Structures are given as C-alpha cells and as structure tokens.
Amino acid sequence: MSMTVTRRTALAALGASSAGLASPALSTPRRLDDARFLHGVASGDPTAAGAILWTRATPAEGAAGDIPLQWHVAEQAGAQPIRSGRVTAAAARDNTAKVEVTRLQPGRDYWYWFTTSSGTPSPVGRFRTLPVGRTEDFVLALASCQLWAGGFFNAYDDMARLDRLDAVLHLGDYIYEYGADGYGTDIGRQLGRLPDPPHEIITLADYRRRHAQVKTDPALQAAHARAAFITVWDDHETANDAWIGGAENHDPDTEGDWRARKAAALQAYFEWMPIRDPRRGSDPAAIFRSFEIGDLATLAMVETRLLGRDEQIASKGEVVADADIARMLRDRQQPGRELLGAAQFAWLENVLRRSVDSGKVWQLLGNQVVMARVAGPDIELGYGPERFAAIIARMPEGWRTRIRATLAGYRAGLPFNMDAWDGYPAARERLYAMLRRIGARPVMFAGDSHAAWANDLADASGTVVASEFGTTAISSPSFGSLLPGLGQIIAAQNNEVVFNNQDDKGYTLVTLTREAATAEFVTVSTVMSRVYQRGVAGRFTRGTERGARLRGVTGKR
C-alpha cells in the first residue's frame, strides 16, 4: 500500500483546525494570546487514571513572556470536555507546557487539546489509560533513532494510522547532537533537511532549538497525537557514546564542562518531552520508572547512559589497533564494570519481583542498547571472498581500510558492539542471575543499533533466560547501507540472534497476550520521499513458558 504525508493529511491525522495553525494577525503590538501550536501536542507516562499532556505555545513574532493556556480532555473525538484546567507555557521553560491529568477511567481512550486565552485551539491528541485487573492484550510500538537529516519519518506516519495502539515506547536518540557537517547530513542536503542550529549543539539554547526542529515533523506530530509515548533517552540526547563521566563526542578542552552540557541537555529534554518531571532535589538522570499493565505485564524502563555506566572499552565504529585487542578483551571482563549501577539494579529487582509475586504474565524491560551476545561477524566468510571483494571495492579507500581493520578485530574475538551490553558482560550476568532468581518471564526491548533484532538471550552456561526484540531506526543510517544483507550474516554466525535486519527503516509492533509475546518488524521502503510502501520484515513469537525460545517467519509480505 502506497502512502504519502501531505500538509492536508497530516493536519487531518492530528485533528487540527485551520484556526489552530493560522498565521498571527498582522496588527501590532503582538499579543501573547496570538501564540500558535506549531509543534503539535503529545501525551506520555500513562497511568490507569491519566497521563502527562504536553504542548508548546510559540509566541507571535516580537512577543515574549509566559503564555496562559487551558487544557481539555474529552471521552470522544469532538465531544465536550469532561476535564479542563489551566496551565502556563512558561518562558523559562521555552514556552512548553505540561500537565498531569488524573481521575480518569482505566483502560479507555481519551482525546485532549489546548487553547490560548483568545480561544485558538491546538491540534487534538489521543491517549489510552493503562488497564486495571484482568487484561487480555496490549499493543506497543517500539521506536528509536530518528536523525532529522537522515530522512523523512515515514515510520511514524504508518504508526499513526494503526487501528490499535495502546502506547509507544521510545527507546532513545529522539534528537542527535551533530551539526550540518556531521553524521548523516549527506542525505539531509539532498532533502533540504539539515539540522538547526547548524553547529553541534552544546548549550541549553542549542538543545532547545534541536528539539523544536524535530517536533515540526508532521509524521512525528501525528504519532504523538495518536498514542501516549513512554520515553527514555539514549546517548545522542546528550552526546554520542555518553557514560557517567563524559562522552565520546564531548571534548572538555573545546566544549566545556561535561556536567554543564549534560544539565543543559536534560533540561531541554524535560521541557520538550511528555515525560513526568523529576522530583525536586532528585537526580534528573534517574528516569527509571515502571508501568503496570493490568494483570498482564509490568514494564520497567531503565537508564543505561548517565547514572551507572562505566566508560566504554571502545566506542561504536572505533578502529582498534592489533596491539590493543588483548587488553580490551581482558578489560571488558572486569567483574566490577557497571551499566545500570547498584541503586537502579536494586530498584529493578524489587519492581520485577513484585510483578512476579502478583502473578503477572510478563516482565518487560525498556532498555536502550542490545543485550544479546553478538560476536563480531566474519563478513568475508559470510559473503564469500568474491562478493566481499566486490562490495568493498565500491567503497572509498578510507572505508575499505576501516572495514578490513574492523574484520581483523572481529576475528580476534571483539564483539560486534562494545557500547552495548557486550561491553559489560559481568553486569549482564548479574541481571540474568536476578531474573532467574525471581522466576521472571522477561522480554527485553532495545533501540540504539539502527537494526531490528529477535534474540534468545542466554546466560554464560547457555541457558535461555529471556527474549529480546530490538527496533530498527526511524531514519538513522544503518550498516546495511554499506554492507547489504549484513543482518543475515550476523544471525547465521550467532546462536542468540534468531533474526537481524540491518537494511530497513521502520519500527517494531509488539502484541502481548496471556499466551504469547509477538513482535512484528514493520518496514518502510524509503526515507528519501514521503511516498513509501509498508512492509513486514519478520514476525516472531515466544510463549509464556520460562526459557521459551522464539519462533517466527521472515520475509516482506
């Protein structure tokens, strides 16, 4: 089925009125109630009684200050509100506004919107409260890695059109920090889609502008208006390969103190995302939290970047010298290396234990990076020498050298990605031991990798302890653009990897029932045009028995 996002269809999907997006009056002086809702609306962090509602009121040109708004919630589209209240789009928060709506009924849809004091309405959004008690099923979409310059957000357009969608899990890389000469901008130049501001973002004003740019995308606005988002950041909301003390893409000599940059990035994130604000006096990086989905599942969202992560042994894509390989393999096995940190780990065990003890069917973990044990693939063996030589012959000389050096590291025993859980194997074993100890039925969700994954997660003894569904990128470049079919090679050479697609963009649709957890890997045929074809690269299911293995089918249909 061919689909296209036009201005008219995007506004229809959002439920926006022409008045809501009209240009401000040309009379002067400009008034604050001339504000417009240029960034749509969003909901997030749903509970059984409500959700966080978000918008941004853009002041008229020449106006500045706090903007008073009203919010409204109705039980049907176009109906009179059953809840209304006041909220301020404060200038100190970049004129963003958030309110937590409560006292709603569990397990049902609601519609919401904002208005200015002059009556100008925002687009209309929709969310569903979490269920209570007996729950037969629940449908989640997994999203990650939406590089503005990487292409159009067609996956969100498809997501917004789904008949059933209870919530969206965004697993990080909602924005990227790079400038107009950075990662992925070769595509952005072709599409007239370069990042704003044009330099790498470092300050609060920079991070705010980048969030604002991303939220002008009509497909993203439509997805936010379709369902509540449950979000965590990964690294690019601050800087590439972030860890507790810094980031690969942060140079203190030229970019200042890491703590100041991190604080600016997190402030902008909390302003611009539909997430509950941190409690006063708490660490804003502590965004781990849980959601109860009736008697069906508990969803625990963890933070794997800024709270407990030790520095990476090697960054993503780093070319490793032969002399360093033995040291790196030894260092990654250090028993004290952490990804979650002790406090978050203790919280997670308590949350999941309560879930198991209460008889819930599933224990879900929303996690940024791939957990499976993934050995670096022997690409030449996978392709065959002749095809491998032909593929790399088409690459620039620099990339040929890089691929050959990376392959040498893989053959020496380096894992595919040491920024993922493979860089922290002792921490992973501690997690697996905890899951066995409490008798969990775990399903892990992962983003970050720009690839789709269906994995059987096994501990060091080879015993399967969990399933993992990883979602591909919304638009960010993947290894498959350089090495087509790489995912099949990775799956063939790794016991834990049942399915891997490094080639396509899209999202993962997860359906939970009392009998099974199923992931459907939805693809879009292109991000270079707003006209695209929807596909499904694979569909994988696991049953409720502990230690269950995945079963499924691949192939677009």
Render 329-373 in DSSP notation, one character per residue.
Answer: HHHTT-TT--SS-HHHHHHHHHHHHHHHHTT-SEEEEE-SS--S-
Over residues 44-59, the pLDDT tens digits come to 999 999 999 999 999 9
* Run of H or E residues at 437: helix 425-438
Q: Lowest mean pLDDT: which of 104-108, 162-166, 393-397?
A: 393-397
Indicate the burial class of 272 (C-beta count within 10 angstroms; 0-12, 13-18, 19 or more): buried
Over residues 446-466, the pLDDT tens digits come to 999 999 999 999 999 999 999
Confidence of residue 518 (pLDDT cuts 50, 70, 90): very high
SS3 call for 250:
coil
Distance CA 102, CA 340 (A): 31
Angle CA(19)–CA(159)–CA(175) in degrees, nearest 5?
Answer: 80
CB-CB neighbours of 126 under 10 Å: 19
DSSP for 275-316, written as a single string: SPPPPTTS-TT---EEEEETTTEEEEE---SSSSPPPPSS-T
What is the identity of the amino acid at 383?
Answer: Y
Taking residues 332-349, report their average pLDDT: 97
Which residue's structure tokens are 């790196």? 328
Over residues 69-100, the pLDDT tens digits come to 999 999 999 999 999 999 999 999 999 999 99
Average confidence score pLDDT of the chain = 93
The reported pLDDT for the residue numbered 292 is 98
Provide the β-strand partners of residue 113. 72
Confidence of residue 30 (pLDDT cuts 50, 70, 90): low
DSSP for 169-220, written as a single string: EE-S-SS----TTSTTHHHHHHHT---SSSSPP-SHHHHHHHHHHHTT-HHH
Residue pair 484/533 in contact (Cβ under 8 Å)? The answer is no
Report strand pairing: 297-301 vs 362-366.
parallel
The reported pLDDT for the residue numbered 6 is 36
Q: With a cut of 50, say whether residue 346 has pLDDT above it.
A: yes
Over residues 174-187, the pLDDT tens digits come to 999 999 998 989 99
29: preceding bond cis by omega (within 30 degrees): yes
Dihedral sign for Cα 329, 333, 334, 336, please: positive
Q: With a cut of 80, say whether residue 15 has pLDDT above it.
A: no
Taking residues 513-518, report their average pLDDT: 98
Provide the β-strand partners of residue 139. 511
SS3 call for 506:
strand
477: preceding bond cis by omega (within 30 degrees): no
Q: With a cut of 50, say whether residue 252 has pLDDT above it.
A: yes
Over residues 137-152, the pLDDT tens digits come to 999 999 999 999 999 9
Q: Considering only CA atoms, which of 153, 22, 146 is closest in space to residue 473?
A: 146
Q: With a cut of 90, say whether residue 14 has pLDDT above it.
A: no
Confidence of residue 18 (pLDDT cuts 50, 70, 90): very low
Q: What are the structural domains, with CATH classification, of the chain?
A: 1-24+31-129 (2.60.40.380), 132-376+413-554 (3.60.21.70)
Number of helical H runs and strand E runs in the chain:
14, 24
Distance CA 208, CA 536 (A): 35
Q: With a cut of 50, say whether residue 11 has pLDDT above it.
A: no
Confidence of residue 26 (pLDDT cuts 50, 70, 90): very low
Distance CA 289, CA 270 (A): 15
Residue pair 407/319 in contact (Cβ under 8 Å)? The answer is no
Distance CA 403, CA 387 (A): 14
The reported pLDDT for the residue numbered 556 is 52
**Residues in Cβ contact with 377 at an 8 Å cutoff, skipping those fewer than 6 apart:** 410, 416, 486, 489, 490, 493, 494
The reported pLDDT for the residue numbered 557 is 39
The reported pLDDT for the residue numbered 206 is 98
Taking residues 100-117, report their average pLDDT: 97
What is the identity of the amino acid at 436?
Answer: R
Q: Considering only CA atoms, which of 72, 86, 95, 225 is closest in space to residue 157?
A: 225
Q: Considering only CA atoms, which of 413, 326, 329, 340 is closest in space to residue 378?
A: 413
Distance CA 174, CA 148 (A): 9
Q: What percent of the chain has pLDDT over 90?
A: 87
Confidence of residue 363 (pLDDT cuts 50, 70, 90): very high
Q: Considering only CA atoms, which of 223, 226, 225 is closest in space to residue 146?
A: 223
Residue pair 271/337 in contact (Cβ under 8 Å)? The answer is no
SS3 call for 396:
coil
Taking residues 326-340, report their average pLDDT: 95
Angle CA(534)–CA(537)–CA(540) in degrees, nearest 5?
Answer: 125
Which position has the higher pLDDT, 266 or 555? 266
Distance CA 354, CA 299 (A): 12
Which residue's structure tokens are 């690839």? 451
Taking residues 265-281, report their average pLDDT: 96
Query: Residue 182 to residues 96, 187, 550: CA-CA distances in angstroms?
Result: 28, 11, 38
What is the identity of the amino acid at 344?
Answer: Q
- What is the chain's alpha carbon radius of gyration, rounded to the nearest angstrom? 23
Report strand pairing: 464-470 vs 452-458.
antiparallel
Q: Give phi and psi for 259, each to the nearest 5.
A: -65, -35
This prediction's pTM: 0.93
Distance CA 503, CA 380 (A): 18
Task: Report residue 160 CA to chain centroid gap.
Answer: 16
Q: Considering only CA atoms, which of 264, 429, 288 is closest in space to residue 348?
A: 288
Provide the β-strand partners of residue 299. 291, 364
Task: Report residue 517 CA to chain centroid gap.
Answer: 20
Q: Which two tokens stand for residue 341?
A: 């940190």
